A and B are shown apart, each in its own frame.
Chain A
């Protein structure tokens, strides 16, 4: 085990996979100089400019070309810089990458990884802060990965690169500097296997990406008050670990979903509905979601903070769920 940052973990995953498979290559704007966040630093030196390939500012072509290159036997890692810019390539992702295998009757596959950094990050305002993971979870054909730790950033990215289907890989910009233990060796994290962040019997808190850390912080506070939360990090939204969530809620009887993204029509709704459908008789309190209000993200910090789901809010919601039944 070594302590590495989230950004370095991703970099290692790319490097190791590129060493392992000569058909893996990366393409995006400014990759030669290491990518906007430095997540490709040094890779061009090792692999050359053909495999760490600088692209024109042409999101639609970056993604479309990756689809064509994937259908003809290579495995592109597509860098979208900010998930917000990937919106310029929605047709390529949703109509082309996600559909080609199916609509051509299995004649082809599209093994691409689309890296789309998400989330709020230092007053980046409305066009550089979005978390649109739920959009992609809705699209048949796509895998959606939302790692919260360096270990998962590495293990899931390796899985994504090896996956034969298109993967939307959403790193959280605020997590880039986060350090954590990353297992040595070629460790691949399977899609659809949630991580238990901490165990508890009183309430289940389901989360993903950066919000996991908010949930964890809240759980620590709650623990000090004698409320033990079972905190689950989904790691991937498609596939998602329904079994782990249901198992936990069967024990706790209470569910709180915590997400940074807009609550309305978010993935939390999917989790909440699934639990409500499957465990109606077991629930001790109504399921609860915490997410952002349906407003764009502001530039000024106090306004930005208005949409932020804080650890205090999570703790308060969990407390409410627990006390409700005890009343």
Chain B
């Protein structure tokens, strides 16, 4: 499908869509800068870009309040930024520098900002699902008006916590929306080749959690469906969203992804969610110049974040010993 055809032209809330476009551009440019930094060995650990998946992060998180909660995966930059985390602090975290969201202790794979309700990206596939269920459980116990969104990839549905966490949410009627991003791959393997049965939505339904399927490259569609699922979840009905999308880069920034044909990727770029939303806005009468300016502003912001992060000092080494646990002094046990 050529870019721009999937977002319905009528009834568009132009201001909201522009904001979504801007946010998607920010995520894209953040990750572009991060990939550059990774190539330059300024970002040291693996990074997993979400280029091509920005519409899911923005469409879902746009319906959350600041104290609502999200949890994410190794591919969590987009979700974290869409939830409102500071891009510079995130960039510093990727660079392992002082002032990073986790003080440089987590890096890309554990990006987290508790101040905006982002309880962490997780390096263990599917592990966030149970933790998310627990966060929703606590909300219910405390009688709070909050909701949890748990993002995970299509690969996560083949691990036990998928079954366990969804069952838990169903049993306890928790305020949670599970968002499965099917980007086609689990690392270098096509997930469908490794998944028996009807896939993520069918599995959710089998546990009694009603599932919706959405074009994850269409931010308007994601926004709409996420809004209604989040509302239902707030009332204590856990819901499931399968967002079909595509990972436009390799699994990590260092992965050239030779396991897929060049033509496949080129064709998928024609369905770039950012281009799609841009075309929709232009069709709705927004001046292309205005949109280009927004995109350039995002680029400038992230270039600045890159430069600032690069110039930021490392964390003090004494901090290696901080936040292990209250009890005992790890220094005494060393060496």
Contact surface of A with B, Cβ cutoff 8 Å:
23, 25, 50-51, 55-56, 58, 60-61, 63-74, 76, 91-92, 95-96, 100-108, 140-143, 163-165, 191-192, 238-239
Judging by beta carbons under 8 Å apart, are B120 and A104 in contact?
yes
- From A61, A95, A143, name the one whose CB has the most chain B CB atoms within 10 angstroms: A61
Given A56-B171, A71-B135, A73-B138, decide whether A105 and B127 contact each other with a Cβ distance below 8 A: no
Residues from chain A with a CB closer than 8 A to the CB of B119 are: 68, 71-72, 108
Distance of A92 Cα from B160 Cα, bound (Å): 12
Residues 144-166 of B contacting A (Cβ, < 8 Å):
160-161, 164-165
Judging by beta carbons under 8 Å apart, are B133 and A192 in contact?
no
* Partner-contacting stretch, out of B30-38, B198-206, B318-326: B318-326
Residues from chain B with a CB closer than 8 A to the CB of A63 are: 130
Number of residue pairs spanning A and B whose beta carbons lie under 8 angstroms apart: 151
Of A71, A92, A104, which one neighbours B106 at CB under 8 angstroms? A104
In the complex, what's the smallest C-beta–C-beta distance from B86 to chain A, in angstroms?
A: 13
Distance of A100 Cα from B124 Cα, bound (Å): 12
Residues from chain A with a CB closer than 8 A to the CB of B165 are: 61, 64-65
* Partner-contacting stretch, out of B96-104, B188-196, B268-276: B96-104
In the complex, what's the smallest C-beta–C-beta distance from B307 to chain A, in angstroms?
A: 23
Is the CB of B137 closer than 8 A to any CB of chain A? yes
Judging by beta carbons under 8 Å apart, are B325 and A165 in contact?
yes
Distance of A14 Cα from B139 Cα, bound (Å): 22
Judging by beta carbons under 8 Å apart, are B131 and A68 in contact?
yes
Residues from chain A with a CB closer than 8 A to the CB of B71 are: 68
Distance of A226 Cα from B144 Cα, bound (Å): 66
Judging by beta carbons under 8 Å apart, are A60 and B160 in contact?
yes
Residues from chain A with a CB closer than 8 A to the CB of B69 are: 72
Judging by beta carbons under 8 Å apart, are A68 and B130 in contact?
yes
Is the CB of B105 closer than 8 A to any CB of chain A? yes
Is the CB of B327 closer than 8 A to any CB of chain A? yes
In the complex, what's the smallest C-beta–C-beta distance from A48 to chain B, in angstroms?
A: 11
Of A56, A141, A142, which one neighbours B168 at CB under 8 angstroms? A56
Judging by beta carbons under 8 Å apart, are B325 and A143 in contact?
yes
Residues from chain A with a CB closer than 8 A to the CB of B135 are: 68-69, 71-72
Residues from chain B with a CB closer than 8 A to the CB of A192 are: 327-328
Given A92-B127, A143-B325, decide whether A69 and B138 contact each other with a Cβ distance below 8 A: yes
Is the CB of B84 closer than 8 A to any CB of chain A? no
Given A105-B102, A192-B327, decide whether A73 and B142 contact each other with a Cβ distance below 8 A: yes
In the complex, what's the smallest C-beta–C-beta distance from B166 to chain A, in angstroms?
A: 9
Given A95-B124, A140-B330, decide whether A106 and B103 contact each other with a Cβ distance below 8 A: yes
